[in-house]
Amino acid sequence: MTDVDAFMSRLSPDMCVVTAVAGGERSGCLVGFSSQCSIRPVRFVVWISKANHTYAVARAADCLAVHLLTREQYALAALFGGQTGDRTDKLAHVPWTRGRGGSVILDEAAAWFVGSVEQRVDGGDHVGFVLTPEDWGSRADGPLLRLDDAKDISPGHPA
């Protein structure tokens, strides 16, 4: 393990599920790289792997929905992180509601926002989608699901 790998392994960011709809197709994935990236105007960035089915849909989407999960929602995280949209319609297995811009909002998410895509930034094997939040909601409190809570979910696609 390199020094940078050792450093990164100490981080345990909050996880989120990102959903995308475009061209009659829908998809969603578990995301471990995301953060607020501007205060004024408020901006948030989610990084999606180029190998992920959701990336192809998100590339064509005008907006994305970002969902926070609590630690008790491990099964939801396992569905969106452990299955691939290439073989499974993950959204067929959970209740959801149509949101702003045709987005998909997971009914069971602890909190969510729909953001318009302002910019796409190539970061290597992931692309950052810079979002402006336009609509949001909150349904549950509690500790958020973090990377350490989800480390045993085998990814639907290799990194």
What does each of the 159 residues of the chain score in pLDDT, given as a tens digit?
Answer: 788 888 878 877 889 999 999 999 999 999 999 999 999 999 999 999 999 999 999 999 999 999 999 999 999 999 999 877 677 789 999 999 999 999 999 999 999 999 999 999 999 999 999 999 999 999 888 999 888 888 888 777 666
Structural domains of the chain, ranges and CATH numbers in brackets: 14-68+77-139 (2.30.110.10)
Tokens 């994305």 belong to residue: 64
- DSSP percent split of the chain into helix, strand, coil, nearest 5: 25, 40, 35
Q: Which residue matches tokens 């609509």?
A: 135
pTM for the model stands at 0.92
Phi, psi of 61 (to 5 degrees): -85, 150
